[in-house]
Amino acid sequence: MRVLELAKRRKTVRQFLPHKPPMDAIMRAIEAAKEAPSGMNAQPWHFVVIDDEWLKGRIRELCEDAERKFYEKVEGDLGEWLQEKGFSPEKPFLSDAPYLILVFGHTKAPYWLQSVWIAVGYLLLALEEEGLGTVTYTPPNPRLIEELLNAPKDYKLQTILPVGYPTDPKPKYERKRLEEVMSLNGF
């Protein structure tokens, strides 16, 4: 089963080789993502591909400023997990990756949020099939990026996918067993 193989192989990637994959690979992945189902067939997604170095750098600056504010306030389980895993407000992958794919959702469409995230799932597997790595990064203050890119007011940034050839040595996090996440005829 090809989809299962892709899903099992796919992992979060935050480190990339410097050379740029062909734009055709990015386009094929987005072509797959746009085939996702959506409420009322509204297809409420918009994909912005960025390869401009200045723009990637500016997005990184805006995100890291917002991340610093977020890290000052975060506590509890999330704060402990971030510290344990060695995360910080620094997000070099936003400028190191050859491409950024920003996924926006049209908020006036029915079931826009669910529909957009189904398309993101398709996109993740399509990128994996192309041999490309990514991480689903959601900035703490997406409004700053929306303003930078002059997004229409009814479009909300959902995630930024830095994309390139992976060089991240970190293994995929272990997944729960099927029996832990599934039941039949009731919870």
Residue 127, domain CATH: 3.40.109.10
Q: Which domain holds residue 57?
A: 26-73+81-167
Q: Crossing angle, helix 2-9 and helix 112-129, to 10 degrees?
A: 90
Positions of the chain with pLDDT under 70: 1
Q: How many domains does the chain have?
A: 1
pLDDT at position 175 is 94
- Pairwise CA distance, residues 154 & 76, whole Å: 33
> Residue 18, Cα to own-chain centre: how many angstroms?
19
Cα–Cα distance measured from residue 84 to residue 80, given in angstroms and rounded to the nearest whole number: 6
- Determine, yes or no, domain membership for 20: no
Q: What are phi and psi of 63, to 5 degrees?
A: -70, -45
Q: Identify the pLDDT of residue 183.
A: 94
Distance CA 38, CA 117 (A): 10
Within a domain: 45: yes
φ, ψ for residue 67 (rounded to 5)? -65, -40
What pLDDT was estimated at residue 38? 98
Question: What tokens appear for 143 in the block?
Answer: 């409004």
pTM (predicted TM-score): 0.95
Give the sign of the dihedral formed by CA 62, CA 83, CA 98, CA 34. negative
Q: Is residue 14 part of a domain?
A: no
Give the pLDDT confidence score for residue 111 in this predicted structure.
98
Residue 126 included in any domain: yes
